[in-house]
Amino acid sequence: MAETPVYTISDGELRASLKKSIEGKELHKVLLLPPDYTRLYSGAGKITAIYYELLKDSCEVDIMPALGTHEPMTEEECLAFFGSGIPFEKIIVHNWRRDIVKIGEVPGEFVSQVSEGLVTDKIDVEVNKLIMDKSYDLIISIGQVVPHEVVGMANYSKNIFVGCGGSSMINSSHMLGAFYGMERIMGRDFSPVRKVFDYAQEHFLADVPLMYVLTVTTNRDDETLIHGLYIGEGRKPFEQAVELSRELNLVHVKEPFKKVVVYLDPREFKSTWLGNKAVYRTRMAIADGGELIILAPGVSKFGEDAENDRLIRKYGYVGRENILKLTAENEDLKANLSVAAHLIHGSSDGRFSITYCTEKLTGEEVTGAGFKYLPYREAVKKYDPAALTDGFCNIDGEEIFYIGNPALGLWVCDKKEGDSQ
């Protein structure tokens, strides 16, 4: 992230901007769509709480976190994320398998065009039924713009079509991104997946009273700093947020890292489905033959739901070509393309080693999924998160690069394979 961050928005300025965004609107019923607890450092929890406070006495307010395939938030997580001002009973759980309605299709011809012919199937556009509920005067989608492995830059309409979407769009968009290639997508706008979302928004959400509230953040220790706040109905606020996020959340390095140690906060990362951001966000900066060590004290499973967990355990992170072959041969993977895409994303394709350090998964479970294993208690004797700071560190004469939260950035080495030294 940028060493000298741009201006930081104060709580007073934040509240004033949010208040201004709803002034003059006749509102009787509002739906808030924040991210879930996995976006702990987005500032979105605070924003949701402010909107609720501003609206609750004058209109009916519903809150539905954009879970995607993630687990529902617990009462403890809601309290930590939103604060005490939002009653837990106000939280509506999005079920991506059952609570959705189909609102249209992205034609196969369009998908083929944006993917350079790599994917040719149509994509069903499904969203939670509440988004199409005409009783809402305003739907406010809240989230953080940051580099992302599937769509290029997170949030905007992704919050609707994936966070509040159904299995078809979730599966198809993830596989589209995996086929096209993460390295061609991450940290960029106008990826094939983003173009699919843009098509869906233009054609099927035009009549929905949807307003986006987007942040760009960094963090300082456990404090979230909001540097950008972009509010509006169209694409322009997102593009402005992308520009700032690329400035603050992309880290360009001159030489590839030989050894990277990443810490996964146990409050945020409880599965490899989420924890593999340690792989996604560093893979373009790690040298061939390098090493990635993931300190994962909270990781206790692979998938965020039982079926996804089963499939990850069954097939493992065995590399792109193997997963493509397994998907062609096995109906359970064909029916869960987001898992197939995740397995592709979570492998280094043998380019560098990945060691998971955890206590809640056994060594047999971790190695069975295709990773190396080191008990967490042993790993932290050498790589103690409490003693490490982001960036280069020297441990017993060995240079490592330490990252305290992989979800907050993207690390890229500008030197290409074969460049002169």
8 A C-beta contact, residue 168 and residue 267: no
Q: What is the pLDDT of residues 186-206, one digit of tens each?
A: 999 999 999 999 999 999 999
Burial of 266 per CB tally in 10 Å (0-12, 13-18, 19+): middle
In the predicted structure, residue 4 carries a pLDDT above the cut 70: no
Q: What is the pLDDT of residues 14-56, one digit of tens each?
A: 999 999 999 999 999 999 999 988 787 789 999 999 999 999 9
Delimit the CATH 3.40.50.11440 region(s) of the chain: 11-248
Residue 393 or 41, more confident: 393
Give 420's pLDDT tier (boundaries 50, 70, 90).
very low
Instruction: Supply the pLDDT for residue 19.
Output: 97
- The pLDDT mean for the chain works out to 93
Instruction: Supply the pLDDT for residue 1.
Output: 47
Q: The domain 251-413: what is its CATH number? A: 3.90.226.30
Q: Which token pair is 349? A: 């394709």
CATH homologous superfamily, domain 11-248? LarA, N-terminal domain (3.40.50.11440)
**pLDDT (average), residues 250-263:** 95
Give 179's pLDDT tier (boundaries 50, 70, 90).
confident
Delimit the CATH 3.90.226.30 region(s) of the chain: 251-413
**pLDDT (average), residues 153-160:** 95
Instruction: Supply the pLDDT for residue 111.
Output: 96
Between the alpha carbon of residue 221 and those of residues 275, 359, 392, the distances in Å are 19, 24, 17
Closest CA to 283 of 345, 204, 213, 376: 345
Q: Which token pair is 388? A: 């490490």
- Of 38-47, 145-154, 358-367, 390-399, the least confident: 38-47
Instruction: Supply the pLDDT for residue 402.
Output: 97
Give 182's pLDDT tier (boundaries 50, 70, 90).
confident
Instruction: Supply the pLDDT for residue 69.
Output: 84
Share of the chain above pLDDT 90, in %: 84
